[in-house]
Amino acid sequence: VINGRKWFTSGALNKRCTLLIVMGKTDADNPDVHKQQSMILVPKDTPGVRIVRDITAFGYDDAPMGHPEIVYDNVRVPAANLLLGEGRGFEIAQGRLGPGRIHHCMRLIGVAQRALETMCRRAESRVAFGRKLSEQGSVREDIAHSHCEIEQARLLTLKAADKMDRDGNKAARDLIAAAKIVVPSMACRVIDRAIQVHGGMGVSQDTFLPKAYVYARFIRIGDGPDQVHLAALARQLVRLHGAAAPRESR
Ligand SMILES: Cc1cc2nc3c(=O)[nH]c(=O)nc-3n(C[C@H](O)[C@H](O)[C@H](O)COP(=O)(O)OP(=O)(O)OC[C@H]3O[C@@H](n4cnc5c(N)ncnc54)[C@H](O)[C@@H]3O)c2cc1C
């Protein structure tokens, strides 16, 4: 019997979505915090499942997928709907989130590259105060910085993907975290520069830039906020290097 409320259930408004994966605490007192959660399948039309509203991100509704708020009011499903077994929800989430996060990074590199190319086209075609924007030093710097940052992020993401292919998702955890920290912020900066070069047009519906910015910005929060990944990565690095012989401190 499931009772609860979940904001931001991405994709749940899509007509093709018929099955919800619900994660909740089933053993809140378990001393192992990673064994407190379970995942269970809930058909969307089960009595007690109520879609309260869609939630927008910066006003975008992301139709037809949506990110609705869903209430579960005494929802009954068979125990056989449990995925993998009771207490294994965190394990499933960890297995899925790594590949999910790197996909966001890959998409955002594409989005940033598109923003850079759009920025170059606009800078070359727009004349303001007697000169092409592409002749302004600050615009050139924006373009060059954007290229450098995209390439840095691309290489990091490729390294993480290569590690996943060779040694598995778990072994690549730190590289995936590094990419998840670096790429969305990079995309935000690049898209922001492209918006600036477009002037008023950059915030209007005439370019893809506003929607691209919203995507990059919410991925700094979605699938774990930057700070959580920074904390987890630092913990791992301290564990790895913190106990090493004090060579450098001599
Ligand atoms: C558009 C969108 C779609 C989403 N889709 C889904 C979905 O399909 N399924 C799903 O389950 N969730 C989804 N989410 C939810 C998303 O995963 C959470 O919003 C995210 O994990 C952050 O949790 P929170 O909102 O509770 O923020 P909080 O946990 O309240 O964190 C708020 C802020 O506090 C700070 N903070 C938090 N923890 C730490 C820390 N350890 N150290 C330092 N600072 C910290 C960070 O700045 C953080 O941004 C979606 C979110 C958005 C915006």
Percent of the chain topping pLDDT 90: 94
Question: What is the chain's mean pLDDT, rounded?
Answer: 95
**Mean pLDDT to the nearest integer, 92-105:** 91
Ligand 1, CB cutoff 6 Å, lining residues: 8-10, 57, 67, 218, 221-225, 227-228, 231
**Mean pLDDT to the nearest integer, 34-60:** 97
Residue with CA nearest ligand 1 atom 38? 228
- Residue 238 confidence (pLDDT): 96
With cut-offs at 50, 70 and 90, classify the pLDDT of residue 95: confident
With cut-offs at 50, 70 and 90, classify the pLDDT of residue 250: low
Residue with CA nearest ligand 1 atom 52? 222
Q: What pTM did the predictor assign?
A: 0.93
Burial of 23 (0-12, 13-18, 19+ CB in 10 A): middle
Query: Cα(111)–Cα(120) distance, rounded to whole angstroms?
Result: 14
Burial of 203 (0-12, 13-18, 19+ CB in 10 A): middle
**Mean pLDDT to the nearest integer, 142-153:** 98
Q: From ligand 1's centre to the CA of 201, what distance in Å?
A: 31
